[in-house]
Structure 1
Amino acid sequence: MRGSEAYDALILGSGQAGTPLAGALGRAGWRVAIAERVHWGGTCVNEGCSPTKLMIACAEGAHRARHAPEFGVSTVTVDLSEVRRLKRELVTSFARGSERGLQEAPNVTLLLGHAHFTAPNQVRVATAQGERELTAPHIFINVGARPSVPDVPGLGAVPHLLDSTSIMELSEVPSQLVVLGGGYIGLEFAQMFARFGSQVTVLQRGAQLIDREDTDIADALMWALRDEGLSVHLMVSELRVEPLGSGAARLQFNTPDGSQTVETAHLLVAAGRVPNTDTLGIEAAGLTLDARGFIPVNARLETNVPGVYALGDVNGGPAFTHVAYDDFRVVRDALLGGGQRPERLSTYTLFTDPQLGRVGLSERDARERGLDILVATLPMAHVARAIETRRTAGLMKAVVDRATHRILGAAVLGPEGGEVAAALQLAMLGDLPFTDLRDAVISHPTFAESLNNLFMTLGDVPPVGNSASRTEPSEVSHDA
């Protein structure tokens, strides 16, 4: 091993925070080393957002083809090996782009290998060419998380247990798929494979799917999935897994409806993720972990060790790519003079169909905080664009402060729900009252136009500072 190498910054992990941070610091004249253990670009590019959304689009193509006769169009064969090829092609393109961007950044050294702390400001990286000892006054941890395996009797004996990475490498559509977990990852894969042609069963321990959401939103999504033929079980308890011959497994469990049994050769575990902190040399660094193994940080993303930061999934915040990228911006602005950033407005999208776009507080959140609110709801069955495209599953819901008329949060469960939620997010960032959206002239017929009618359900509430009002809400958002 060569002698210790001194840098201005060390970055562990090339995810959606570490990669842009390396470039920004390098362009600012810092000497930067970035170490990546497996693949350039991080989870989003290689195993998360990009490949899954491409596969969801493929599954949607199959779904639409099966339902083409409903639109007067008269044929579906799914070639999962071709879907996998397309997925691999996209991943390779994006990962190479991330690596190329780092290679072209000034003052940045790339190291492919596992990194771990040997002291608070020192890291050892095991590369194919040998070990390298690096030191820096600033170290940024962006190592992400990985799928967790729940403590279920017999689960460890299943020979071909699938997770969110390995399931995308299947070359044939399973005849049956059981999904453990009714959260975001589990539901996206459940619907995807149902549309590819699998008989899908979802097992959820809790009383509803997507437990962060209000019950009416979760129930509407559950019924949409059941209408597509998925079997969804809630309040699953006493789950036991018994391996069978030829790689299959028998699952036995209880529900409020009684004891249940299902057999499958394909079992997907989508029961959360654990941080990649167990091989980082946490003790040598002196870092504090929380009970789940994540690294706590303050508003500047600083850990308990001076000069060491944690960005992205590893710090226990919302596990979304856009959050990790904003972590980069927080650190960049703090270190390079960008000033203090405004408070982050929480938002995310679940890419099921109907799609769920969420921004800000849910009704449950607002009531738990004791806020005085108005709640606007509108079924997608009352939205002209949804009726015209025959995609009426879901509903829209917004939470409004009663006194100020400011929008506190919203959920849009429907076609392009994430895009419509983004419009609400912009209104919230601009501190607009809901009446501005109620009375806005929005192009017809679009899904965004339904924002008029969503807020008209609150009744004849005049805009703040204006006595003008609009007609009562019509049953369908079809203003000419």
Structure 2
Amino acid sequence: METIKNIIIGFGKGGKTLAKFLAQHGEQVLVVEKSKQMYGGTCINIACLPSKRLIIEAAHGTSFEDAVDGKNVMTAQLRQKNYQMLASEDNITVLDGTAHFTGNHTINVQTPDGKELAYKGERIFINTGATPTIPDISGLKNSPFLLNSTDAMNQDKLPRELVIIGGGYIGLEFANMFASFGSRVTILDHHKSLLPREDDDVAEMVIQNFKDNGVKFEVGVNIKDISEQDEQAAITFTRGDNHEITIFADKILAATGRQPETASLDLQNTDIKVDKKGAIVVNDLLQTTVPNVWAIGDVKGGPQFTYISLDDFRIIKDELFGNKERRVSDRLIVPTNVFIEPSLAQVGLTEKEAKKQGKDYLLFKMPAAAIPKAKVLKDTRGLLKVLVDPQTNLIIGATLYIQEAQEIINMIVLAMRAKLPYQMLRDQIYTHPTISEAFNDLFKNPVNN
């Protein structure tokens, strides 16, 4: 059994960044990745980048087939670049294979050619990500029409009729994309209302824009069965009155979340604890219940974003080589973005949450139609909402539903982290025409003053 200073299981964002950092500090690193199609991790191969590429292509009027081809070229290039980033380092070995724990610090790796290699790691970092969750619906898991989020981006042709199970953020992104390509999209969701976390005015505007784009919604449904009829999927569901309704589709996309990828690790051979959802339990420093074993990224549960995985790397780097000051609990201001048209970005409190908590706030609100750049972009849908603490003039939350929201939300985040009063954004000199210059007008007067 070979002993390695650092073993990283999984080639995701946090793990690959950590591998490069450790190698450049003269430490030996073994990176184990079970799929050559996942060099670089989930984000560049099956999530953030390819999905956003397709969303942008759809908005630009590119055909679905050409968009998928372009996406495949991009991901192949990124995959190779990420592989070379690690494989070119003298201190890094990239090993294709599936890792199984045989003890707290020992693993066996089954390689594609049938070999089984044994290693002991002085440090082990688990970075195996998450996999799509398929709901327990009769006939769904074995349906020839079933797609998960990865399959959906690799179709040979565009589905004419697409049913999406799940009206969360992932489901909405795919609905927006496929509808823009020309599919007839229906979203089925068991909740009585969509976007429950968002303020009602924002949620209603988002849903109406989807409906205007031809997307149909069926909410508060209970899906009874998936079957095949006339070479199509037959989806039977009920609403509150238990009256059965059957709709038909060429494909069914399950957009019902992702679960941590721990099943194949054989963690029962260790003292590493997992929670009820299979996520690895970690402390504020990302340490597992076994000393010198850490979990990075989606596998530990919590927000599933590549930028969280990157920040996980920063926490571990600080622990091993820095001042040991960074903590998971320090991540109080984390932005999110849903890549629909227009984009929906959020950070901090919504107005709904502020009211629930009994917080006093100044509300600044502005329609996208009042912004010159929105007219230039030919999309005046949406609005800006920002909440400010009246005692400190500090921003406590923002919801931006507008083109380029994914960019300007970061200005809000920076102001919040730096504890800058909202007047700094109000009085800033911006380039023109830009979406960001809307802050000049947005922050003039609160609507609830």
Q: Shorter-normalised TM-score: what interval?
A: over 0.9
Where does residue 414 of structure 1 map in the other structure?
402
Where does residue 252 of structure 1 map in the other structure?
236
**C-alpha distance in 1 between matches for 2:259 and 2:392:** 40
Answering whether residue 11 of structure 2 is matched by residue 23 of structure 1, we say no
**C-alpha distance in 1 between matches for 2:129 and 2:91:** 24
Identity of aligned residues (%): 36
SS in 1 for 2:97: strand
Mapping of residues 54-65 of structure 1, within 5 Å: 54-62=53-61
Where does residue 332 of structure 1 map in the other structure?
317
State whether residues 193 and 200 of structure 1, in contact with CA within 8 Å, keep that contact through their aligned partners in structure 2: yes
State whether residues 241 and 249 of structure 1, in contact with CA within 8 Å, keep that contact through their aligned partners in structure 2: no
State whether residues 250 and 261 of structure 1, in contact with CA within 8 Å, keep that contact through their aligned partners in structure 2: yes
Deviations 1:114-169 (A, max 9, x none): 00110011111111351111112211111000110112233234222011111111
Where does residue 34 of structure 2 map in the other structure?
37
* Paired residue type of 2:435: F
Paired residue total: 442
State whether residues 154 and 240 of structure 1, in contact with CA within 8 Å, keep that contact through their aligned partners in structure 2: no
For residue 205 of structure 2, the aligned residue among 186, 199, 220 is 220
Instruction: Indicate how the Cα distance of structure 1 residues 216 and 207 shifts in structure 2: closer, same or farther if over 3 A, else same.
Output: farther
Question: How far 1:10 moved relative to its partner?
Answer: 0.8
Question: How far 1:381 moved relative to its partner?
Answer: 2.3
State whether residues 209 and 219 of structure 1, in contact with CA within 8 Å, keep that contact through their aligned partners in structure 2: no
State whether residues 65 and 158 of structure 2, in contact with CA within 8 Å, keep that contact through their aligned partners in structure 1: no
Where does residue 378 of structure 1 map in the other structure?
366
State whether residues 239 and 252 of structure 1, in contact with CA within 8 Å, keep that contact through their aligned partners in structure 2: yes
Mapping of residues 8-407 of structure 1, within 5 Å: 8-38=5-35, 39-62=38-61, 79-129=63-113, 130-235=115-220, 237-245=221-229, 247-255=231-239, 260-337=245-322, 339-341=324-326, 343-344=330-331, 345-407=333-395
* Paired residue type of 1:59: A
State whether residues 359 and 410 of structure 1, in contact with CA within 8 Å, keep that contact through their aligned partners in structure 2: yes
**C-alpha distance in 2 between matches for 1:307 and 1:245:** 54
**C-alpha distance in 1 between matches for 2:116 and 2:18:** 24
**C-alpha distance in 1 between matches for 2:396 and 2:39:** 38
State whether residues 373 and 402 of structure 1, in contact with CA within 8 Å, keep that contact through their aligned partners in structure 2: yes
State whether residues 145 and 233 of structure 2, in contact with CA within 8 Å, keep that contact through their aligned partners in structure 1: no
Question: How far 1:459 moved relative to its partner?
Answer: 6.1
Q: Which stretch shifts more, 44-53 or 204-213?
A: 204-213
Instruction: Indicate how the Cα distance of structure 1 residues 366 and 310 shifts in structure 2: closer, same or farther if over 3 A, else same.
Output: farther
**C-alpha distance in 2 between matches for 1:328 and 1:174:** 39
Deviations 1:97-125 (A, max 9, x none): 11100012231111110001100111111
**C-alpha distance in 1 between matches for 2:295 and 2:28:** 19
State whether residues 179 and 270 of structure 1, in contact with CA within 8 Å, keep that contact through their aligned partners in structure 2: yes
Question: How far 1:7 moved relative to its partner?
Answer: 1.1
SS in 1 for 2:393: coil
* Paired residue type of 2:9: L
* TM-score between the two structures when normalised by the length of structure 2: 0.93
State whether residues 23 and 106 of structure 1, in contact with CA within 8 Å, keep that contact through their aligned partners in structure 2: no
SS in 1 for 2:275: coil
**C-alpha distance in 2 between matches for 1:363 and 1:292:** 30
**C-alpha distance in 2 between matches for 1:12 and 1:32:** 11
SS in 1 for 2:443: helix
Question: What's the C-alpha RMSD, in Å, of the aligned pairs?
Answer: 2.0
Where does residue 465 of structure 1 map in the other structure?
none
Question: How far 1:175 moved relative to its partner?
Answer: 1.1
Question: How far 1:216 moved relative to its partner?
Answer: 2.5
Question: How far 1:259 moved relative to its partner?
Answer: 5.4
Question: How far 1:339 moved relative to its partner?
Answer: 4.5
* TM-score between the two structures when normalised by the length of structure 1: 0.88
Question: How far 1:256 moved relative to its partner?
Answer: 5.9
SS in 1 for 2:141: helix
